Amino acid sequence: MFRIGLGHDTHRLGPGDGLVIGGITIPHDRAAIGHSDADVLLHAITDAILGAAALGDIGEMFPDTDPANKGRDSADMLRRAAARVAAGGWLIANLDCVILAQRPKILPHRPAMRRRIAEILGVEESAVWLKAKTGESVGPIGEEFAIGAECVVLLERA
């Protein structure tokens, strides 16, 4: 028995000197703005696994109106969502993600991100794939007002 899930997220870019993305910090001349650490990729993955298991979404689990969630580590949110999904009797078969960013280059950081995501989820690195797309210099992504991420996940009955 299988279930598919989809996650999508966007964060505004602002002044700063690094991006928290995929559970690691990569050098950049801007930062993603958000209530938590604004890790757009971990947020998309969190929504994908919760959606696949029909167990809610990241905003329901961690409301941004709750001061406890201010500056929260997105890895911690993903770990808690994954525990909820596992408790529901599901294993993560694989996930496939796209980061939408005009800059910086994501591919050099892919191995570290895959390692970190696999570690947070407790799956093999081979179950995690990741790619990146620019916005072709147009729109909010291309003009560097925002970054985004998308994720699909497949769950199988434990």
Which residues of this protein are in contact with ligand CDP, per CB under 6 A?
101, 105-107, 132-134
Decide which of ligand CDP, Zn ion, none touches 58; Cβ closer than 5 to 8 Å per partner kind: none
Q: How many angstroms separate the CA atoms of 31 and 16, rounded? A: 4
Q: Which of Zn ion, ligand CDP, none does 107 bind, CB closer than 5 to 8 A by kind?
A: ligand CDP
CB nearer to Zn ion: pick between 9 and 150: 9
Of 105, 111, 6, 2, the C-alpha closest to 49 is: 6
Residue closer to Zn ion (CB basis): 69 or 91: 69
We find the least distance from the C-beta atom of residue 81 to ligand CDP, in angstroms, to be 25
E-strand ranges in 89-134 read: 90-100, 128-133
DSSP state of 86: H
**What residues line the site for Zn ion (CB under 5 A)?**
9, 43
- Please say which residue, 44 or 118, places its beta carbon nearer to Zn ion: 44
* Token pair 């910090």: residue: 25
Q: How many other CB atoms are found less than 10 A from the CB of residue 146? A: 20
